[in-house]
Amino acid sequence: MSIEVGSKLQGKVTGITHFGAFVELPSGVTGLVHISEVADNYVKDINEFLKVGDEVLVKVVNVEADGKIGLSIRKAQDRPERPARPPRPEGAERPARPSRPYNSRPQGGGRSPRPNQARASISFEDKMSRFLKDSEERISTLKRQTEAKRGGRGARRG
């Protein structure tokens, strides 16, 4: 009996590891069910789902050239198909997406980017010099703030 990808077979769990379970198939060969292929939900401990000696229905996912056989328990289960989405009515367009994510702020201390500036026309050197300038400004601001809190250079002492 040759094992073909896509076939469903009954097998017996012969060993369990932290990464999956070894299942002996009817032809006498052993395949591996990876822990991610045991159930549809997250499996933290495979021992909660399988025990050595359990009979399971598996689907052959892949057969490698060196003889390793990949199996899946969750793909072997017949699930009803999800109903197809109804087609989008003609003329209905997707809502416009915001220009930036809701949770992001403009960089550079609240300044907004320059309007109508084509990003492709700026050379790499210009981008790099702007980055260095902005970076130096931010660092000097941070240094001033932390020195004032610590009472360093020029801070008043009372």
Confidence of residue 18 (pLDDT cuts 50, 70, 90): very high
Lowest mean pLDDT among 21-25, 35-39, 113-117, 147-151: 113-117
Q: Give the Cα separation of 114 and 121 in Å (integer).
A: 13
Decide: 14 and 24 in contact? Cβ < 8 Å: yes
Res. 34 pLDDT band, cuts 50 70 90: very high
pLDDT of residue 78: 78
Rounded to two decimals, the pTM is 0.50
Express each pLDDT in 66-76 by its tens digit.
989 999 999 98
Residue the block writes with tokens 């416009």? 96
Question: What gap in Å lies between CA 1 and CA 26, rounded to an integer?
Answer: 9
Instruction: With cut-offs at 50, 70 and 90, classify the pLDDT of residue 51.
Output: very high
CATH for 8-72 (2.40.50.140, 3.20.20.110, 3.40.50.300, 3.20.20.60): 2.40.50.140
Q: Which residues contact 64 (CB under 8 A, 6 or more apart)?
A: 70
What does the pLDDT look like over 89-141, one tens digit per residue? 776 666 666 665 555 555 555 555 555 555 567 888 999 999 999 999 999 99
Residue 121: per-residue pLDDT: 78
The per-residue pLDDT for 85 is: 77
How would residue 157 be classed by pLDDT, with cut points 50, 70 and 90? low
Q: What pLDDT was estimated at residue 145?
A: 85
Q: Compute the half-sphere exposure of residue 67: CA atoms within 13 Å on the CB side of its CA.
A: 3
Confidence of residue 49 (pLDDT cuts 50, 70, 90): very high
pLDDT at 122: 81
